Structure 1
Amino acid sequence: MATGAQSRGGGPLAQLLILAVLHVNFIALGLEPDFLYPLENVTIAQGRDAMFTCVVNNLGGYRVSGDSATARVAWIKADTKAILAIHEHVITNNARLSVTHNDYNTWTLNIRGVKREDRGQYMCQVNTDPMKMQTAFLEVVIPPDIIYEETSGDMMVPEGGSAKLVCKARGYPPPKILWRREDGGDIISRSGPQGKTKVTSLEGEIVNLTKVTRSEMGAYLCIAANGVPPSVSKRIMLHVHFHPLVQVPNQLVGAPTGTDVTLQCHVEASPKAINYWTRENGEMIITNDKYHMTEITSSTYSVQMRLVIRNIQRSDLGGYKCISKNSIGDAEGNIRLYEMELPYRKSRTEEESDAASEESNDVRSSLQGPLREGGNRVEDAGFLGGGGPSSSDSHRIIPCGFFLITALVHTVC
């Protein structure tokens, strides 16, 4: 049963027998060696391992013309014509090279830790007559690397001046340099034929900035890439120096006594300035129970100064100054604090009194209405001095209290 399975399935013993028969037939037929697959080009990053695989059929038992030795496979560096290895024996004095053979038809040339000088044409050769060979190219690529000694560092320019940013990189293929601002802002070019242009990125080793403004201050990134990961970058900080500028949103601030108030100043300065507050007489203000000072950073060169004055009294009214000083100059802003009267608000007793008065007026109005509109109009006419229908009606007595209604016409009581 086992013998039948081996004969049908082609077990190890059967495969060896087949190879032996083929080997004898190759010798008998005198078949020449030939390459089963072409040698493939290899592209590898520097420092990695590379290998070339050469598959040769009909090599075993083939006798070289005029020589009793069988044919051999050799590896040669074609551009230098240097023999690297024959069969499995390395000829060249390079410990990074080795050759492996699978004892049948495959030879592999291994190069460990590839270097730039390993780049070139490699040949797998069989010493037949005439010689047979096939070649492939080893391309060694190198990830980009910034050349720091040739690249700009952080720099400072005065506002309105010029700055030249340089970035150099090496690698293979030669890397391309791309410039961007770290904050995503525009790079402003004023030297081109189109005048002032704004771009989010710029290609090239050199960036020329002219008539630099404070808005162009910040970090610039030069990014080197050549398609071989990883890309690399360098951060270059551009400092633009100018004297302080103070802006006051509200120069006149009013607040009621007994309340808190906040005074504000906006300051732009580079290099960083020393900021403080004073009274109009020059007395410097310090943080205590009365005063609280803070600074809120708006950008790399601007801050917001805040002064909180608690529980304002009449002695706190008057002028205040926000002052900013750096190595280039100084500036100040002025704010005047005045007392603001609160709108008059009636007390509860006064509100109740006014409500009672309004209610009394409403009652009087309700009494006046019927007296004016009701009754005999003839009597009204007689009261006002007009003639009546009879003398008795004209001498009719009307209670004095009711004369309030017609007080605007006659004062009778």
Structure 2
Amino acid sequence: ITLPNQRQKGLNYTLIIVTNQFGKFGVPMALRPSPPSSSQSNLRRTPLDRGPHFDLSASKNITALVGKTAYLNCRVKNIGNKTVSWVRHRDIHLLTVGRFTYTSDQRFQAVHNPQTDDWSLQIRYPQKRDTGVYECQISTTPPVGHSMFLAVVEPITTIVGVPDLYINTGSTVNLTCIVRNSPEPPSTIFWTHNNQVSGEGEINYDSPRGGVSVITEKGELTTSYLLIQRARTTDSGKYVCSPSNADPSTINVHILNG
């Protein structure tokens, strides 16, 4: 007679009931040890057992400015003797292998510090045409890859109300300049009046006239406000908003009597 298995300290037992002239008694028969559960296996597993793998927390999509060096980062843990390559999806073009460049476009270069797990693709003077998917690959069998999206944007400057704004004498002129598509806010924004070429018309906020101020809020969307209180006819003319990282925008202001 075989009773259900009994488990003790990781072993399976089958209890065999034996009958002879001395009576009945049970003989436990040990079977092979139970395999460890998946949870137990994971507890004993070391990070090295995983082999080469991506750290996705440090390998993300990026937005870069036209003309400003961009870096796509790929962090590979436990790389061992494997190599890291970068491939451009648009034309399935191999760009780099290890620290060597495999493209005639010398704007692309692999960057790696031996003290880190980071393998970066450097793109100098990026242009809008460089926008797209790039894949970081590890030379395992089969290869494994992680794709990232690079967006190359050019900041756009706009003054609300262009091309002309009409204001009555004595009113407040409120010019709003917005800089879009700028992952990094411009370091400076200059406003000029009646001289957009030499900059000699830069507005003097401390002039005896008074009532002129600028408020700038920086971020992914940067906004600069030029406020002119008690507008006069001499305040008429061409106003230019010039961010340090984008083309300027112009508006014509007309101060009307009456």
The TM-score range, normalised by the shorter chain, is 0.3 to 0.5
- Structure number with greater Rg is 1
Larger RCO, structures 1/2 (Cα 8 Å, 6+ apart): 2
- The normalised TM-score by structure 2 is 0.48
Q: Which has the higher helix share?
A: 1
